[in-house]
């Protein structure tokens, strides 16, 4: 009898995560949807004019900024992350690996406000002095993000590389390939789906990151045309305006949240499918 009750309770608890996910989806949509209907979906997505005081809500500039920051971060972060993953998985003696892997993962533990702060006092002045512009820029944001997503990508890629059967590598080496040739021609292709999953999860982290981006991106509301332009992403708009917004303005911020949520869920589901295919 007691066993049955315990099992019922545990079953109930087990659905808490999926239940919360549903609840989050419902709440974000319920809060944000009215403004999308009022503005019209195309106007909301494809107008770059965001003027809360005039009740005009178009988020195109923010979507483009978010995507630009994310892609630039991926462009800079992925090579570095893969370099770390290959070094640690292949060139590094096991004794050193158990120290270096958690060290790199520690980068994920540094709070995003600390990254943002260091970006402002160290990186932004460099960009301002050497490349021009206000310094607070797309470039600064994506450089900080590249470092922030590196541990995610490195860590999953290491697992993917280590999951390739040893036979593959031994086969290549036995055929006379050098270690690097074996990595480039055999190991990396075999680990491809894992590495792609890692990059997708890195993208999801970058597009959702808020505090670090707010601090270094400059937050100017326009479509960026160069790397040194200040940008304002979806996340920063939500965070900056939530505090004082009301009425339709607040609803519009939730609507921006819906768009962000859809991006993230699409990336998560894609990563999930890739993982399963393996």
Partner 1 sequence: MRLNPITTQKCVKALLWFLTGSTIGILFFIILFIFLKGLPQISWTFLFTNPVDMGRSGGILATIVSTIYLIGIALFFATPLGLGTAIFLTEYTREGIVTKIIRFGTESLAGIPSIILGLFGFAIFVIAFGWGWSLLSGGLTLSVMLLPTIIRTSEESIIAVPLEYREVSFSLGLGKWKTITRVVLPSALPGIVTGIVLSIARSIGETAVIIFTAGSSLRLPKSIFESGRTMAVHFYILAREGISMPMAYGTAAILVLLILIINICAYMAMRFLMKRYS
Q: How far apart are the first and last CA of the chain?
A: 42
Nearer to partner 1, 20 or 132 (CB): 20
Nearer CB in complex with partner 1: 47/181: 181
Show the DSSP H helices in the chain as ranges.
2-14, 16-39, 41-46, 60-86, 94-106, 112-118, 124-131, 138-163, 166-174, 179-182, 188-190, 192-208, 211-216, 234-242, 247-277
- Binding of partner 1 at residue 87 (CB under 8 A)? yes
- Going 266 to 200 to 59 to 42, the CA torsion angle's sign is negative
Interface residues for partner 1 in 120-159 (CB under 8 A)? Answer: 120, 122, 147, 150
> Contact, 103 vs 174, CB < 8 A?
no
Q: What is the rounded distance in angstroms from the CA atom of residue 125 to the CA atom of residue 140?
A: 10
The reply to whether 272 sits near partner 1 by the rule CB under 8 A is yes
If one asks whether residue 83 binds partner 1 (CB under 8 A), the answer comes out as yes
Number of residues that bind partner 1 (CB under 8 A): 82
CA–CA dist 180, 126 (Å, integer): 36
Per-residue tokens: 98: 């158990």
Q: Does 33 bind partner 1 (CB under 8 A)?
A: no
Given a contact cutoff of 8 angstroms between Cβ atoms, the answer to whether 89 and 159 are in contact is no
Selected range binding partner 1 among 50-58, 111-119, 128-136, 221-229, rule: CB under 8 A: 111-119
Q: Please, which of residues 192-231 interact with partner 1 by CB under 8 A?
A: 201, 204-205, 207-211, 214-215
- 16: contact with partner 1 by CB under 8 A: yes
For partner 1, the binding residue among 67, 104, 131, 223 (CB under 8 A) is 104
The burial of 88, by beta-carbon neighbours within 10 Å (0-12 exposed, 13-18 middle, 19 or more buried), is given as buried
Query: In the set 72, 88, 127, 140, which binds partner 1 (CB under 8 A)?
Result: 88
| The only residue of 60, 64, 67, 80 in contact with partner 1, by rule CB under 8 A | 80
Taking a C-beta distance cutoff of 8 angstroms, is the pair 49, 58 a contact? yes
- Binding to partner 1 (CB under 8 A): which residues in 50-69? none
Which span (36-44, 61-69, 185-193, 268-276) binds partner 1, by CB under 8 A? 268-276
CA distance 34 to 253: 11
Cβ 158 to partner 1 shortest distance, Å: 12
For residue 77, give both structure tokens: 């972060």
**Residue 243 CB, nearest approach to partner 1 (Å):** 8
Cβ nearer to partner 1, comparing 72 with 183 = 183
Q: Binder to partner 1 among 103, 170, 174, 189 (CB under 8 A)?
A: 103
254 binds partner 1 (CB under 8 A): yes
């Amino acid at each position: 009898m007691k066993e049955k009750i315990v099992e019922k309770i545990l079953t109930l608890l087990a659905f808490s995560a999926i239940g919360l996910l549903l609840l989050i989806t419902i709440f974000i949509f319920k809060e944000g949807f009215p403004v999308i209907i009022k503005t019209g979906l195309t106007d909301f997505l494809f107008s770059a004019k965001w003027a809360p005081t005039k009740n005009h809500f178009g988020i195109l500039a923010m979507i483009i900024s978010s995507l630009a920051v994310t892609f630039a971060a991926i462009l800079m972060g992925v090579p570095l992350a893969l370099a770390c993953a290959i070094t640690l998985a292949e060139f590094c003696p096991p004794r050193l690996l158990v120290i270096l892997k958690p060290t790199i993962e520690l980068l994920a533990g540094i709070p995003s406000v600390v990254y943002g702060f260091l970006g402002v006092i160290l990186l932004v002045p460099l960009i301002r002095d050497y490349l021009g512009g206000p310094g607070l820029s797309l470039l600064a944001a994506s450089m900080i993000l590249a470092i922030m997503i590196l541990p995610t990508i490195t860590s999953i890629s290491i697992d993917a590389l280590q999951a390739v059967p040893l036979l593959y590598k031994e086969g290549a080496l036995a055929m006379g390939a050098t270690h690097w040739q074996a990595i480039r021609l055999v190991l990396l292709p075999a680990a491809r789906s894992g590495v792609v999953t890692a990059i997708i999860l890195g993208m999801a982290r970058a597009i959702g990151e808020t505090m670090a981006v707010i601090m270094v991106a400059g937050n100017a509301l326009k479509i960026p045309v160069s790397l040194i332009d200040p940008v304002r992403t979806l996340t920063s708009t939500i965070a900056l305006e939530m505090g004082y917004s009301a009425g339709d303005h607040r609803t519009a911020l939730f609507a921006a949240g819906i768009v962000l949520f859809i991006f993230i869920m699409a990336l998560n589901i894609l990563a999930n499918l890739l993982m399963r295919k393996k």
